[in-house]
């Protein structure tokens, strides 16, 4: 989010993206040597920016994109990218939405979290709520263990 913010704030120069990401990783994640995921998110988000921005405008018509705060705008871009183009095995849709809301709570204004939740929730519903009923592997493993214990109790 920081890299997208900086890119937007500094005039949207796509040729500075790699430099921005490297600087932000060095400053905010010292010691992290493999930042392929971060760079992929930033570059992916920017490569899909035109479509993402149209979605923001469609889902928040009372807020022209340039009037949306720079923080909220880039949280939305990142969240929408993860929802629409992300790997659901790595980041399920509901996790992407929750992460975006947490970013909005931490870095946005008073109503940022509600705004981000509203826009991303609308897009998620329009997408047909992918993985809505998905049960995580951890939960499945827990249920299998629980089922096994229940079966053992019944046999005793």
pLDDT in tens, 108-124: 999 999 999 999 999 99
Residue range(s) defining the domain that contains residue 62: 2-155
Task: Tell me what pLDDT residue 141 has.
Answer: 44
User: Residue 146 sits in a domain of what CATH number?
Assistant: 1.10.940.10
The whole-number average pLDDT for the span 68-87 is: 95
Burial of residue 14, with CB atoms counted within 10 A of its CB: 0-12 exposed, 13-18 middle, 19 or more buried? exposed
Note the pLDDT of residue 144: 52
Report the domain count for the chain: 1
- CB of 116 within 8 A of CB of 76? yes
78, 100 in Cβ contact below 8 A? yes
């Amino acid at each position: 989010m920081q890299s997208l913010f900086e890119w937007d704030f500094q005039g949207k120069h796509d040729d500075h993206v790699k430099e921005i990401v490297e600087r932000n990783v060095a400053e905010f994640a010292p010691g992290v040597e493999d930042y392929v995921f971060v760079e992929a998110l930033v570059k992916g988000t920017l490569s899909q920016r035109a479509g993402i921005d149209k979605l923001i405008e469609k889902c928040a018509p009372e807020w022209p994109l340039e009037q949306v705060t720079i923080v909220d705008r880039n949280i939305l871009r990142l969240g929408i990218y993860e929802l629409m183009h992300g790997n659901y095995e790595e980041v399920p849709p509901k996790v992407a939405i929750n992460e975006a809301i947490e970013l909005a709570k931490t870095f946005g204004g008073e109503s940022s979290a509600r705004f981000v939740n509203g826009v991303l929730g609308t897009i998620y519903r329009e997408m047909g709520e992918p993985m809505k009923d998905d049960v995580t592997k951890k939960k499945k493993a827990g249920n299998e263990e629980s089922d096994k214990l229940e079966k053992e109790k019944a046999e005793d």
